[in-house]
């Protein structure tokens, strides 16, 4: 249960003072569900109101805070003119302008012959000083109400900065004193404030000296932000480490093989395994043989040969007398895997069953399921239908999950919660840099295939101006006449007004006109999965020659005959994404070409990015570069899922902290595995603070 010290911070955001039923949904969308989310909604900049010059000597076009004697009100004769108020100090006078103002309100705000303090942008107008709609106006006794440094927040229509600051102020004032969960030596070395002081500082920090007074960016590298980022990263790393330990301890089983099936398969292969494949197989094999539950990620580019590695693992399970299943993200991929694995297994005389979506009265399916249940069939491939209620295995020992995209930490927990003690191997073609594997897969061991199978042809990658679309289409026409097939990728279909986007639908229509409508297929994200699979299958079968698509083909099928990859508006894609798309072509033995079409003019950075892609096929190098240039959201697809995984930490900027947090988490659990010591109890608070509740539930009560 959440510790009571955190209750106020987890109050529903709509229950806070200043947020009613009308603003509730707006705040929810802008910051989140709870009061604590306001704390994580850190300022993006700060306005410096500390500049209080005498009027005569003031800099123009700068935010100033002035103490004025009010001498005169001049209501406008014409409603289009401003209401003017004249005030002065002992050096000069200033005219304060209000457009569409109510006189009553202003006479109360600016009583004549009294002193008021105003803060706003000071300008020169027709040889005089002026200020329009000051941000603050207070009687001189209340000058202290004007913040010297005013934080600027990300806002939304209906919520002003003033409103947000008002809601936030009492929360900051009543912040609980949380126990310190960080190591004293680390705090001393980094000279970090305590949590409470750091939160307050992060919301009230001053701009960097010498910066423009209007707003200056708050860099995420201030000491207080680093402390908070560290807290968040530590919570995450600790949670992952707890989950991993839990999975490791929870009834794994030793799947030891005698190597007989594996040897048979290897000698029947028409090729030799690469060094990387051997290494990965050895790592997986050792994991499976150990009594712990395996949780391993196999990373390798499209075409690096992950399937055979998975099959070797599956055979080890069979050697050990257990069953193994491979789960694919789509039905067509499952069918494709099934066909290929059947081919590989033929010389061994082994069968593999296929399980896809339910279709009633399917005798084949019924028979397959019966054989899984009685153990006469040891190998399975399918979609998530494999884990529907009516599917039972006699003794499932290994699950391989192909493509991790829809398979996050929660699913990993769920699958293992089925209590079968199965080993889990996840395969992904996303080249994820080490920084990100620590966060996205910190609970998993990792094997990487960095070498390519021999004889693979490099893909000829070219940059082409969109203006040459006509030539490109001519080229495609020649290629399909020779029997080749092509992928044609357009950026996502967006709402109407973004007319410069080459909408996939329009492109398909044009290509249909020029190349024959029957040759063209279209898949996009808004299609239902059945329609999508139908088109994909027609492409894989060769009836469709050109597959026009949004990026749905990322997790796509293998079509060895597809040797052309055309990407429109390549400048709008992430590098890692382009790299994966490119990998879809080049699955066969023929030379492949990838055309990256761009909209001129290309900026320096965009040009550098695309050029890099032309020069290397090293997915990990590309991913590192992508992380540097675009941040982690693009790589892990958090953009689509709405709120980013981290509220404060920025993985591109706080890498050093991530490494420390990773080591710290290991050390913490080694010393106090159930977090019951003094620091352990503080760390439990930290886990709740960052909503890593699932991890706390796995700890023994403290
Ligand atoms: P991935 O799943 O990593 O994208 P696959 O496992 O589908 O890649 O392998 C791509 C192709 O390379 C397949 O046709 C596969 O049979 C072949 N292949 C796998 N390993 C090797 C190897 N060591 N040498 C040659 N070809 C290989
Ligand atoms: Mg694959």
Question: Which residues face 427 on adjacent strands?
Answer: 298, 402
Separation CA 565–CA 593 (nearest Å): 6
Residue 10 has a pLDDT of 96
Q: Cβ(454) to ligand 1 under 6 A? A: yes
Q: Cβ(302) to ligand 1 under 6 A? A: yes
Separation CA 281–CA 288 (nearest Å): 10
Q: Cβ(592) to ligand 1 under 6 A? A: no
Secondary structure class of 281 (helix, strand, coil): helix
My answer on whether omega of the bond before 601 falls inside 30° of 0, hence cis, is: yes
Determine the atom of ligand 1 nearest the C-alpha atom of 302.
Answer: 4
Q: Are strands 593-598 and 115-125 parallel, antiparallel or unpaired?
A: unpaired
In DSSP notation, 634-695 reads HHHTTTTTSS-S-SS--TTT-HHHHHHHHHHHHHHHHH-TT--SHHHHHHHHHHHHTT-HHH
Secondary structure class of 299 (helix, strand, coil): strand
Assigned token pair, 549: 């698509």
Task: Give the pLDDT band (50/70/90) at residue 404.
Answer: low
Q: Cβ(308) to ligand 1 under 6 A? A: yes
Closest residue by CA, ligand 1 atom 13? 305
Under 8 Å between Cβ of 328 and 352: no
**43: nearest Cα among 210, 248, 260, 224:** 224
**301: nearest Cα among 584, 557, 549:** 584
Closest residue by CA, ligand 1 atom 27? 453
Of the listed ranges 210-224, 312-326, 414-428, 433-447, the one predicted with least confidence: 210-224
Q: For all residues of the chain together, what is the average pLDDT?
A: 85
Determine the residue of 277, 303, 326, 328 to mutate for testing ligand 1's pocket, defined as the one with the most ligand atoms within 8 A of the Cβ atom: 303
Q: Cβ(586) to ligand 1 under 6 A? A: no
Separation CA 405–CA 430 (nearest Å): 9
Task: Give the closest ligand to the alpha carbon of residue 588.
Answer: 1
The dihedral through the CA atoms of 536, 538, 541, 547 has a sign that is negative
Percent of the chain whose pLDDT exceeds 70: 87
Assigned token pair, 40: 């994580």
The dihedral through the CA atoms of 245, 248, 249, 251 has a sign that is positive
Closest residue by CA, ligand 1 atom 17? 305
Q: Which tens digit of pLDDT belongs to each residue from 90-129? A: 999 999 999 988 778 899 999 999 999 999 999 998 899 9
Percent of the chain whose pLDDT exceeds 90: 52
Q: Which tens digit of pLDDT belongs to each residue from 60-69? A: 999 999 999 9
Q: Which tens digit of pLDDT belongs to each residue from 165-199? A: 999 999 999 999 999 999 999 999 999 999 999 99
Separation CA 446–CA 434 (nearest Å): 10
Task: Give the pLDDT band (50/70/90) at residue 268.
Answer: very high
Separation CA 625–CA 608 (nearest Å): 11
- Total-model pTM: 0.65
Ligand 1 center–CA 309 separation, angstroms: 9
Q: Cβ(435) to ligand 1 under 6 A? A: no
Closest residue by CA, ligand 1 atom 10? 303
Q: Cβ(306) to ligand 1 under 6 A? A: yes
Task: Give the pLDDT band (50/70/90) at residue 692.
Answer: confident
Separation CA 148–CA 119 (nearest Å): 10
Q: Cβ(271) to ligand 1 under 6 A? A: yes
Q: Cβ(491) to ligand 1 under 6 A? A: no
Residue 583 has a pLDDT of 84
Closest residue by CA, ligand 1 atom 16? 305
Under 8 Å between Cβ of 96 and 130: yes
Determine the atom of ligand 1 nearest the C-alpha atom of 310.
Answer: 6
Under 8 Å between Cβ of 243 and 443: yes
């Amino acid at each position: 249960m959440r510790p009571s010290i955190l209750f106020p911070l987890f109050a529903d955001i709509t229950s806070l003072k200043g947020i009613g039923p009308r603003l509730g949904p707006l705040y929810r969308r802008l910051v989140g569900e709870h009061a604590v989310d306001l704390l994580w909604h850190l300022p993006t900049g700060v306005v410096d109101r500390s500049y209080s010059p005498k009027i005569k000597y003031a800099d123009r076009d700068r935010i100033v805070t002035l103490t004025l004697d009010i001498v005169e009100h001049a209501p406008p004769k014409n409603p289009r003119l401003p209401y003017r108020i004249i005030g002065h100090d002992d050096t000069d006078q200033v005219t304060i302008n209000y457009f569409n103002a109510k006189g009553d309100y202003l006479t109360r705000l600016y009583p004549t012959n009294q002193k008021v303090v105003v803060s706003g942008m000071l300008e020169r107008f027709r040889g005089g000083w002026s200020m329009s709609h000051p941000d603050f106006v207070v009687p001189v006794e209340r000058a202290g109400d004007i913040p010297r440094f005013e934080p600027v927040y990300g806002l939304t229509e209906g919520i002003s900065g003033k409103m947000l600051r008002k809601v936030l102020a009492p929360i900051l004032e009543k912040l609980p004193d949380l126990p310190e969960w960080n190591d004293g030596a680390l705090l001393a070395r980094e000279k970090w404030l305590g949590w409470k002081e750091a939160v307050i500082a992060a919301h009230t920090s001053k701009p960097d000296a010498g910066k423009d007074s209007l707003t200056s960016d708050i860099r995420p590298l201030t000491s207080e932000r680093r402390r908070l980022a560290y807290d968040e990263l530590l919570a995450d790393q600790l949670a992952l480490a707890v989950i991993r330990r839990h999975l490791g301890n929870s009834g794994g089983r030793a799947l030891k093989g005698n190597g007989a099936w594996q040897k048979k398969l290897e000698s029947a292969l028409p090729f030799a395994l690469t060094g990387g494949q051997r290494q990965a197989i050895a790592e997986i094999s050792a994991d499976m043989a150990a009594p712990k539950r395996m949780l391993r990620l196999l990373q390798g580019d499209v075409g690096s040969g992950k399937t055979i590695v998975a099959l070797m693992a599956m055979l080890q399970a069979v050697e050990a007398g257990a069953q193994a299943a491979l789960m694919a993200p789509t039905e067509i991929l499952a069918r494709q895997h099934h066909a290929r694995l059947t081919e590989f297994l033929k010389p061994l005389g082994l069968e593999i069953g296929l399980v896809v979506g339910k279709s009633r009265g399917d005798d084949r399916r019924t028979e397959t399921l019966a054989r899984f249940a009685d153990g006469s069939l040891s190998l399975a491939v399918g979609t998530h239908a494999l884990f529907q209620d009516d599917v039972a295995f006699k003794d499932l020992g290994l699950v391989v999950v192909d493509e991790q995209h829809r398979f996050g930490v929660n699913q990993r927990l769920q699958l293992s919660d089925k209590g079968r003690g199965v080993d889990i191997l996840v395969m992904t073609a996303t080249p994820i840099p080490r920084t990100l594997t620590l966060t996205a897969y910190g609970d998993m061991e990792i094997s990487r295939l960095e070498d390519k199978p021999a004889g693979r042809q490099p893909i000829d990658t070219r940059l082409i101006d969109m203006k040459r679309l006509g030539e490109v289409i001519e080229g495609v026409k020649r290629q399909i006449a020779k029997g080749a097939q092509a992928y044609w990728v357009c950026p996502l279909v967006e709402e109407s007004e973004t007319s410069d986007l080459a909408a996939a639908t329009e492109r398909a229509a044009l290509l249909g006109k020029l190349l024959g409508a029957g040759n063209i297929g279209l898949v996009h994200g808004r299609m239902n999965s059945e329609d999508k699979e139908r088109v994909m299958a027609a492409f894989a079968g060769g009836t469709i020659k050109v597959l026009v698509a949004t990026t749905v083909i990322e997790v796509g099928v293998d079509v060895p005959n597809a040797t052309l990859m055309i990407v429109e508006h390549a400048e709008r894609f992430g590098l890692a994404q382009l790299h994966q798309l490119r990998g879809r072509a080049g699955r066969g033995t023929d030379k492949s070409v990838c055309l990256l079409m761009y909209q001129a003019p290309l900026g320096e950075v965009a040009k550098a990015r695309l050029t890099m892609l032309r020069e290397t096929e090293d997915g990990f190098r590309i991913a590192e570069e992508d992380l540097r240039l675009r941040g982690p959201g693009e790589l892990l697809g958090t953009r689509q899922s709405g709120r980013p995984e981290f509220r404060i930490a920025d993985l591109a900027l706080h890498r050093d902290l991530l490494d420390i947090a990773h080591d710290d988490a290991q050390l913490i659990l080694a010393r106090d595995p159930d977090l019951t010591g003094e620091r352990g109890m503080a760390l439990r608070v930290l886990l709740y603070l960052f909503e890593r509740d699932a991890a706390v539930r796995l700890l023994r009560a403290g």
